[in-house]
Amino acid sequence: MRKRGYGLGHVGALAIFVSILGCTTAAIPSDNAESAPLMKQVADVPLPGPAVRFDYQSLDPSHSRLYIAHMNADQLVVFDTKKREVVANLDGFPNVHGVWAVPELGKVYASATGEHKVALVDTQILKTIARVGPVKYPDGIAYAPSAKRVFVSDQHGDADAVIDATTNSFVTTIPLGGGAGRSHLRCCSRKTNSWRLTRQTPRSLGATP
């Protein structure tokens, strides 16, 4: 793990925006409402590592941290949204795609696609505490809090891998009948603890994995 004092060299940059919709609506004339900006840039922060592709991000608002998958650098960037600075740049995430922070568990889940596993990071010590798999091509990640299950899109396996968040163990695979870039969860019934799982495909986004 690397902390602070980065040699930035060729870097990416994180542009930070805030929503000004609502707080400024009263001051905007109605005939100009459509042209009024919804977001305003407040900072442009350099990020460590080479200027190569980034992928998913996940915000932990309770700890003011943004976790960023630096995919082609095999790193997970930890950014403090209050101080607007990088607090850690974690190595050991081959071809990292998806990332999902779960504040109530003190964990971050990251798809280490290059090694066909999902890495679990302890947010207190910022170290990898487990790797779960194999998953053919782990991509996007979703979390069902009441079930304490992590759902990982296996894009090339046409399925979702399910991880038990309490034991950090692989549970099962759910066939989806097609490639899924990212899975979305929606609670159907809290009484029966049932969830609706939908998938988002690269084709629907016009993208190539």
In which domain, by residue range, is 43 found? 12-205
Q: Is residue 6 part of a domain?
A: no
Amino acid at 11: V
Q: Is residue 125 part of a domain?
A: yes
Q: Is residue 4 part of a domain?
A: no
pLDDT in tens, 26-79: 444 555 556 777 888 888 999 999 999 999 999 999 999 999 999 999 999 999
Q: Is residue 85 part of a domain?
A: yes
pLDDT in tens, 118-176: 999 999 999 999 999 999 999 999 999 989 999 999 989 889 999 999 999 999 999 88
Which of residues 178 and 92 earns the better pLDDT score? 92
Which of residues 185 and 47 earns the better pLDDT score? 47
The answer to whether the CB of 75 falls within 8 A of the CB of 96 is: yes
Q: Is residue 171 part of a domain?
A: yes
Q: Show Cβ contacts of residue 2 under 8 Å, excluding neighbours closer than 6 positions.
A: 48, 88, 89, 90, 91
Q: Is residue 186 part of a domain?
A: yes
Q: Show Cβ contacts of residue 67 under 8 Å, excluding neighbours closer than 6 positions.
A: 57, 58, 59, 60, 76, 77, 78, 79, 99, 101, 108, 110
Return the structure tokens found at 53: 């592709």
Q: What is the CATH number of the domain that holds 70?
A: 2.130.10.10
Q: Is residue 1 part of a domain?
A: no
Number of domains in the chain: 1
72 three-state secondary structure: helix
Q: Is residue 109 part of a domain?
A: yes
The single-letter DSSP state of residue 49 is: S
The answer to whether the CB of 78 falls within 8 A of the CB of 67 is: yes
Q: What is the mean pLDDT of residues 95-106?
A: 97
Structure confidence at residue 151 (pLDDT): 93
**Phi then psi for 80, rounded to 5 degrees?**
-90, 115
